[in-house]
Structure 1
Amino acid sequence: MNNLDIAVTTPENKTNLPVKWLMTVLIIAITVLGLVRIADEKAHTMVDDSIVAAGASFAIARTLDAVISVVKSTELSVGVASIDIGEMLNPVSDLINKFTWVMTLAVGSLALQKILLMMMASKLANILLILASFALLMTMWIRGTKQYRKIAQSAFKVIVLIRFAVVLSLGLNIMVDKLFIDEQIQRQSSQIEGVTALVKGVQDGDAELAVKAEQGFVDAMKASWENATNKLKVETDKVAYMQQSIEDSIISFMELMALFLLKTILLPIGFLLMLKQLVFSKITL
């Protein structure tokens, strides 16, 4: 019989037959999954949502930066002293510049992932997956092709990694996002929005207490003293609260930078390396 005949049944073949059928079903299932493209569409939605979230955080930071630029020359009076708001906000302004760079890197990474998804879900990628699957199945079932099994197996693994790596890494990444990262990003963004609102109102003065004309001299002096005392307390509390809020916003920006670097760069790369290690492990087909 020629080399294309199905291999004859031997005791060894009988032992391996269930495994061969199992691997055959697995190979066909992987191929069908690549052709259906349901996972690809879900991955595209994930990337779009991440880009929207990154854009929202970037807009919050730019809004705060614009407000800081307006109030930099404003001074707060605390009794006989005054505090330069610009000096208080300079660290935040410098950090926003670094945050802008990190967000540009994060959005660029997400855009690259979207492009890779489009490439790996293309017709060419699916055709290569079909050819690699067919070649591997031939070496598994057709007599005389066993010597090409390792080559076909390596080619199939490479094509599978190319076709599904980004999709699977994004799927794992979104699980981590839902469990931890997205909630933290929302919390820190809300903190920065609160600081923005606080800085916007920094130029609003406190209403002076009116002293009626018919009051006596002693009553008028008492009212003026109470007014001055209350105003000093209000201004002191305002400055203390603003200083604490600014310190909190610095921490929020630093945590946001770390979260977006983790979400858009470090985790995807880590999952890709993990999948590569898994695909090229010593599992034989």
Structure 2
Amino acid sequence: MTKVMTAIKQNAFTSKWRWLILGLIIGSVGLSWSGAIDRYTTAYIDEALVQASSAFVIARAMNALISFLQSVTFEFSVGIGGSVGAGQVLDPLNDLVEQYSSAMKLAIGSLVIQKVLLEIVSDNIFKILLTISGVAVLISAVINRAFAAGYLGLFLLRLFLALLFLRFALVLVVAANGIVDQAFLHQRTENQLHILESIEGVNEQENKFTNPELHTELTANITELQQQAATLRQRLNTIPPQQRAQLQRQLADINNQIQLAELAREGKTPGFFAAISDSFSSLGDGIAAIKDAVNPRQVYQIKERLDNAVTNILNLMALFFLKTLLLPLLFLYVLNKGFTLIWRSNPGVVLQPVSK
């Protein structure tokens, strides 16, 4: 009697699991064709790409700003004339920004790869193969016990699980990563980006000229400065090396003036140079504005602001590393472990028809 009761309970337990697995097969095939998770993951990847691209643009802008400041040479008089270069004091910061830029490239690359793979596993071919495999498993579950428990029945079930893993593994990884990102990381990343964007000199200001005559004057000014620079270069090749220091400082000053004038003429003036374009009421005022635009105190103030942003840069690098590389790999590892456990088990036994 006890053996009979045990057999009945075991059959009831097996029957529940059998219907559960059959329901999961039907549900997974339906979910595959609905594309609900696919749409969510695609939207998340697109949003993450926009965010990572913004971070990369900021990195490029900071790199351009630092490179420009490194090219600036200051002249001052303290009894004896001398010059101070901003390059050396900005070199460590420039190295960090280069690493930050490389990290953003890596993050964008990771997101693009995920997007391409999502498009592949969301293709109709995967949906059709999963559907055919699911139907084969359902058919094997309703025919005789020997077939369902045999090698072919188990093979069909494992084939379905393999296709299910390929179809949904990356989708579930990206979906889980998106949920964690939206809950804990997204706003933190936005805050760090906002801090970097607010640094004076990083954002470009659009200041398009409405006065054609002023644009013409700037063009003539640039041409004149370029001619002066060419003349100085020729003189540098004809004088002894020990006499070149003064001319090199003058050439650097002219090159900086040319760069600022070109930015102002194009209406693309980085942050703290934005007011220059509004100062061009005449050619003389334009030259004066350019010469007064860059000074040691201003550069060191900008350097101080950039130094204060080091923590924000490091935070951004860590956040993007976490949400584009570490978390996806972690979720994929956990999902793979779960799939391995299912694969090594023998789930075919619960699909056997319940004995009478």
Structure 2-normalised TM-score? 0.61
Change in Cα spacing, 1:90 to 1:160, as seen in structure 2 (3 Å) is same
1:150 match: 154
CA apart distance, 1:100: 2.1
1:165 match: 169
**Farther off after superposition, 141-150 or 55-64:** 141-150
The answer to whether 1:256 aligns with 2:316 is: yes
The answer to whether 1:271 aligns with 2:331 is: yes
The answer to whether 1:28 aligns with 2:26 is: yes
The answer to whether 1:192 aligns with 2:196 is: yes
The answer to whether 1:95 aligns with 2:96 is: yes
Query: Amino acid of the residue matched to residue 59 of structure 1?
Result: V
Change in Cα spacing, 1:263 to 1:77, as seen in structure 2 (3 Å) is farther
Query: Amino acid of the residue matched to residue 97 of structure 2?
Result: I
Change in Cα spacing, 1:194 to 1:51, as seen in structure 2 (3 Å) is same
Deviations 1:144-175 (A, max 9, x none): 31213432232122111110111111111111
Query: Amino acid of the residue matched to residue 130 of structure 1?
Result: T
Change in Cα spacing, 1:97 to 1:239, as seen in structure 2 (3 Å) is closer
Deviations 1:199-224 (A, max 9, x none): 9438999xxxxxxxxxxxxxxxxxxx
Change in Cα spacing, 1:110 to 1:120, as seen in structure 2 (3 Å) is same
Q: Gaps spanning 5+ residues in structure 1: where?
A: 1-9, 206-234
Q: Map of 1:241-252 to 2, 5 A cutoff?
A: 242=302, 244-252=304-312
Query: Amino acid of the residue matched to residue 90 of structure 2?
Result: L
Identity %: 28
The separation in 1 between residues aligned to 2:173 and 2:44, in whole angstroms, is 11
CA apart distance, 1:104: 1.6
Deviations 1:107-147 (A, max 9, x none): 11111111111111111101111122122223332213121
Change in Cα spacing, 1:250 to 1:84, as seen in structure 2 (3 Å) is farther
Change in Cα spacing, 1:202 to 1:272, as seen in structure 2 (3 Å) is same
Change in Cα spacing, 1:72 to 1:168, as seen in structure 2 (3 Å) is same
The answer to whether 1:201 aligns with 2:265 is: no
CA apart distance, 1:281: 2.1
Deviations 1:213-262 (A, max 9, x none): xxxxxxxxxxxxxxxxxxxxxx98x7886554333322222222222121
Change in Cα spacing, 1:35 to 1:202, as seen in structure 2 (3 Å) is closer
2:131 match: 130
The separation in 2 between residues aligned to 1:204 and 1:77, in whole angstroms, is 23
The answer to whether 1:280 aligns with 2:311 is: no
Q: Gaps spanning 5+ residues in structure 2: where?
A: 1-6, 203-269, 277-295, 351-356
Contact 1:92 1:249 in 2 (8 A): no
1:217 match: none
The separation in 2 between residues aligned to 1:62 and 1:178, in whole angstroms, is 26
CA apart distance, 1:35: 0.9
Secondary structure at the aligned position of 2:92 is classed as helix
CA apart distance, 1:13: 4.3
Contact 1:157 1:280 in 2 (8 A): no
Change in Cα spacing, 1:79 to 1:189, as seen in structure 2 (3 Å) is farther
1:6 match: none
Change in Cα spacing, 1:75 to 1:193, as seen in structure 2 (3 Å) is farther
Contact 1:46 1:174 in 2 (8 A): yes
The separation in 1 between residues aligned to 2:191 and 2:84, in whole angstroms, is 29
Change in Cα spacing, 1:183 to 1:88, as seen in structure 2 (3 Å) is farther
1:212 match: none
Contact 1:72 1:85 in 2 (8 A): yes
Contact 2:41 2:178 in 1 (8 A): no
RMSD, matched Cα:
3.0
Secondary structure at the aligned position of 1:281 is classed as helix
Query: Amino acid of the residue matched to residue 278 of structure 1?
Result: G
Contact 2:73 2:84 in 1 (8 A): yes
Q: Quick one: which of 46, 49, 66 aligns to 1:48?
A: 46
CA apart distance, 1:16: 2.0
The separation in 2 between residues aligned to 1:75 and 1:65, in whole angstroms, is 18
The answer to whether 1:176 aligns with 2:180 is: yes
The separation in 2 between residues aligned to 1:88 and 1:201, in whole angstroms, is 19
2:260 match: none
The separation in 2 between residues aligned to 1:191 and 1:77, in whole angstroms, is 33
